[in-house]
Structure 1
Amino acid sequence: MLSVRGPPATRLDRHAGLFWQQEDTFYDDPTASADKATRNAVAAQGGPLYANDPDPSLPRDEWNRALAEHDAYDYLLNQTVEPMGADNARIFLESGGFPKSAPEPDTAEFRIADENLKNRFAACTWRDPIDPDKVLGNEVGTAAEEWQQEITSQAAQRNQILDANTNATKALASGAKTLGNMLGNSWVADHVARWQSYWSPGGAGSSKPTKPDAAQSDKAKKSLANAQSVTKSQLILLKQQAAAAKRAVTTTDTAEQAAYSIADTNGAPRGRGLLVAQQKAHPCATKPAQLPRARVLGADERLGVAQRR
């Protein structure tokens, strides 16, 4: 799979996030595997063609080709290092076996095959197609060159989205902690204000024979003032974090649209050249970034109630 490199700090953050991941998962093959029905279809089509050993009476060139196809079929069907990939199976089934020829350049068939290969690369199927008859070289070479051009053309936008996602995640994590601190202090301010109201003249406790002494009242005043002060500062910080998350969303949207424009200009599908950034663009940044704003307003209202008491 092609890697996406960002600024050093961003790469360090991503690597730090992998610290607790099981080591063997780093080596998982990202290639999409063929499902059972597809494997059965490959076996049904390929068995009569390639399962048996080559006929020894064949001319040398034909025998060599038959042997290469036989070995490639065995590899496709049984190799554990490279289990049957979905795209290898697609090529095999579409061609009625291993391809015997490739479409001529500058034809519609060539362009379709070329786009299919670029979709293969985009899906992290990183190996070349199984090609025992060696007919796909030009097709694969063209697709690989164009694929590199496509992802290079959107590298800046891709890294902007990944960096914005990192910034949004940090802002949301910090915002959640800030919100907890703020709500805790808001709760303290609210309950101290209730206590003061209870013991104030005309309050429910003013007919009580035993009342708080001056030290207790002073302690309550200081506790309320401190809670209100901390809550105000936390509210300012939370609004800043919500704004940072919102900026990350704006950056993501802008970068995504710019990448789409590049793709449109080059005749490429939208989003394909963004790679993993296409998934990062919305679920991890846009939706969660809207949540702190509602919580800020709720906390702000609660703080105002506490201050009015």
Structure 2
Amino acid sequence: MTRPIWMGDEPPPDKPATLADRMRLVLRGVPIATALLVGLIVLLAVRLIERPLHGEHRPWTPAITTVVCRICVALIGLRFSVRGEPMRHIGAVVANHTGWLDIYTLNACQKCYFVSKDEVAHWPFAGWLARATGTVFIRRDPREAKAQQAIFEGRIRDGHHLLFFPEGTSTDGMQVLPFKTTLFAAFYTHGLDKVMQIQPVTVNYTAPEGEDPRFYGWWRDMPFASHLIKVLSAPKQGAAEVVFHPPLDVSDYPSRKDLAAACEAAVRSGLVARSR
């Protein structure tokens, strides 16, 4: 299965790597890889105790994920800020999707569990990390819709804040695409809509000085490896801002389309206007 791709405009061409770029890549990449590996080992060790005692509730391990992601954001060199507060109520989180960097910025300021396409589970290392941190993997197959809804409901009732990207694809970070409504249907089963909330979240990235405003965007057919290298080897880094909007009561919206539209409007309202 291939990931959905937003075509958008042609991305800026990659600049030839210099010796200084390669050095920065090593100086940032090695500590980040070490932090992820050590974090994974610690998380798995704690999970050995946590799971028999608490099952799927996971009261301890999400804090490890948050700390590791904060360390990674700092090692990348991003200036990081947060507006608003993560909700504490039972529910889910929706956000705009710029690229792989969202995993770190969104995990660095809240305890959440990503909803991801099934193919990620099979990626080397990244798939192991995703599994260990409690990611929910889904297949885009109508025949599995009911089973996936049951998984969502169980996780939400366990107190997990599931985070998903309703755009269905990553973008250049300059806009919010129309939200797909399919996954919102899971929040209207077995009375779940009467007890839960959805918190819209906007992630804003500011490119390093002198770079294209779309610097952190990952779209079209951009290879993951080359984009990762570009970001980690940049002489200067930009900034990331996470905006938590007021949570929405699902019961206030009669259908998944109404709920998706309200979430989309909130996320769009927090996007910082930028020009190219």
Larger Rg: 1
Q: Which has the higher strand share?
A: 2
Relative to the length of structure 2, the TM-score reads: 0.25
Q: Which has the higher helix share?
A: 1
Q: Which has the higher contact order (CA 8 A, sep 6+)?
A: 2
Relative to the length of structure 1, the TM-score reads: 0.23
